[in-house]
Amino acid sequence: MIATKDSFEPARVAQAPRLSDGAPRAVESSPHSSEQLPKSKRVYVEGKLHPGVRVPMREIELTPTRSYTGAIEQNDPVRVYDCAGPWGDPDFKGTVEEGLPALRARWIRARGDVEECDVHSPQSTVHSPQSTIGRKPLRAKSGKVVTQLAYARRGIITPEMEFIAIRENMRVAQAPRLSADARFNSTMRTTCVATRLSAGHANNALPQLAQANVNCRILPGHSAEEIRQELVRILADPKIVVRYVDDAGNVYDRTPEKKALPPISPPAGILKPLARIADEMWSGVPVIPGMETGASDSIYTIAAGLPSYGINGVAIDQDDVRAHGKDERVRVGSYYDGAEFYYRYLKALTSPQ
């Protein structure tokens, strides 16, 4: 936070002991670090994926705008990330002797991949000031990797990641930009598009019947019936009937209530050889699991208890995506690189680790 010297409350003056010459002196006391800056207040933005996430923001009042006509326009307050720490909260009662609150302690322990380290053990090489305030440092359990990058590669969104996303204003600033890209938009929300339209029986007659086939790609955790009901609500016309068409072409008035299964994070046996081969062919390119918008037999194999993953080693030009089109194509170099990648990866996957 930045503020001018004059923006603080007037300095409080206290009477100090007299100097040796008998003249009194005044001592100015600065505002305490927990005092609120003028025209602003500390607020918190709650997490959605992790309800325990609370990101501190400073809500700053803006003065009204006076137009050239003299009219006054009120301005909404603006929020910025408050980096003042716990002392920026007027309700915080801690002391420097107690140290900063262990904000991430519950998040870290909930993952179950760390253990306390005894700093007084002769075998320990860890030295931490935390032991002086009653906290033992933590270390990864044997065979565990506890970095945020490792979690991301396993498809896990941690509370720390959500905290940073909110702090960097990604909810507001990035969502419209990502939504403008059809690929990203389809992984952020359920999307429906009319893929086939038919109406009428003759060129010189008004159609008595019109029909549209609407294809919906549904996010995990939602059922097809939920989406059907939402389409009914959006169309808001009793003359329009929304029915469900299954994979075999059968039409039903209602859809199954069954929801899509949640994603399953790829295990190390899948990711490690994948990361190694990818680095050999495209040095420095990270391997991070993501959600694909297409459908495959995985909806059946996962439902049967068989974890299934899709891996694509064919590079696609993002400005020339023609999947499922009549002129579907990929670059020649990408095709041969993909064939080489699949050969190496399948060989590494089936070889002793």
Per-residue pLDDT at 65 exceeds 80: yes
pLDDT for res 335: 92
What pLDDT, in 10s, does the model give residues 19-54?
Answer: 455 555 544 555 555 667 889 999 999 998 898 899
Q: 45-49, 122-126, 258-262 — which one is most confidently predicted on average?
A: 45-49
Q: pLDDT at position 148, please?
A: 93
User: What is the number of structural domains in the chain?
Assistant: 2
Query: Is the residue at 246 inside a domain?
Result: yes
Q: Which residues contact 122 (CB under 8 A, 6 or more apart)?
A: none
**50 domain-assigned:** no
Same structural domain, 283 and 225: no
pLDDT at 67: 83
CATH number of the domain that 305 lies in?
A: 1.10.150.900
Q: Provide CB contacts within 8 A for 158, sequence distance 6+.
A: 50, 107, 111, 148, 151
185/203 Cα distance (integer angstroms): 38
Share of the chain above pLDDT 90, in %: 31
pLDDT digits (tens, 9 = 90+) for 76-85: 898 888 988 8
Domain that holds residue 305: 268-350
Domain presence at residue 56: no
As a whole number, the mean pLDDT across the chain is 81
The verdict on 228 and 293 lying in the same domain is: no
Residue 152 has pLDDT above 80, yes or no: yes
Question: What span, in angstroms and rounded, lies between the C-alpha atoms of 30 and 10?
Answer: 9
pLDDT, position 11: 43
164 domain-assigned: no
Burial letters for 265-284: b for 16+ Cβ neighbours within 10 Å, e otherwise? ebeeebbebbbebbeeeeee
233 pLDDT higher than 90? yes
Per-residue CA distances from 124 to 119, 121, 229, 264 (Å) = 6, 5, 60, 36
pLDDT in tens, 163-172: 998 988 756 6
In tens, the pLDDT along 331-340 reads 899 999 999 9
Q: pLDDT higher for 7 or 248?
A: 248
Angstrom distances, CA of residue 24 to CA of 9, 13, 79, 101, 226: 24, 12, 45, 42, 78
The predicted pLDDT at position 10 comes to: 43
Residue 174 has pLDDT above 80, yes or no: no
